[in-house]
Copies of this chain bind each other. A is one copy, B any other.
Amino acid sequence: MSEVLTDSIQDYLKAIFDLTENGTPASTNALARRLGVEPASITGMVQKLAASRPALVEYRKHHGVKLTAAGKRAALEVIRHHRLLETWLVASLGYSWDQVHSEAERLEHVISEDFEERIAAALGEPTRDPHGEPIPGPDLVMPSDQSIPLEAVQAGKKATVRRVDAQDREFLRRLELLRLLPGTRVAVVEVSPVDHVMKVRIGARGTIAVLGPAITGRVFVETG
């Protein structure tokens, strides 16, 4: 029962959670890129996490890593902190959605369970953060999300933006200018078969924008 989840360990678990959502194990390199450290550091940490009791990850040399049940629980706890904090920074302190990520990134490791409960209650137990990402409940169950990348929507179909990739501020500011926000209705007017650039109507009868894969791959929608 080591039970010491350092900030760094929490970051690793969160990153592994994200990279394994598609079901496949996360590679050393992908983790290194995500966490901004050298691959050698990943190997070391991952070996430690696999050796800890209870083990937080399952690891096979050269074959990547995935979370155990205990690791997943710990990851969801951090993700809950992060997304609640983002929601609350926007709702209570007037942050814009492109400013909250880095602040939440630091706060998530230090807030108490008491703090978590207080902001969750103050916000009315929200299930989505400002980027539309689902927030795990107090029971750590992740709300279901059926959204697919906008790029996977066929020409002629309509959809609603559900969530967007929140990693970088520049990207979020562009979405804001485009009015491509969670909740917005979109209609795919045309898809270029060559470079997969999309012509999309944004809003009920809003403007038409031409969007490349850098955007359509990171905006997730529900069709219908």
Binding site for B on A (CB under 8 A): 92-95, 99, 102-103, 106-107, 109-112, 114-115, 118-119, 122
Contacts and interface: CB of A to CB of B under 8 A. Distances in A.
Copy number of this protein in the oligomer? 2
A118 B94 contact: yes
A99 B109 CA distance: 19
State the main secondary structure of chain A at its contact with B. helix
A119 B106 contact: no
14 contacts: A92-B92, A93-B118, A93-B119, A93-B122, A99-B114, A102-B112, A103-B111, A103-B112, A106-B110, A106-B111, A106-B112, A107-B107, A107-B110, A107-B111
Nearest to A99: B114
A119 B103 CA distance: 14
Contacts of A94: 118
A4 to B, nearest CB: 15
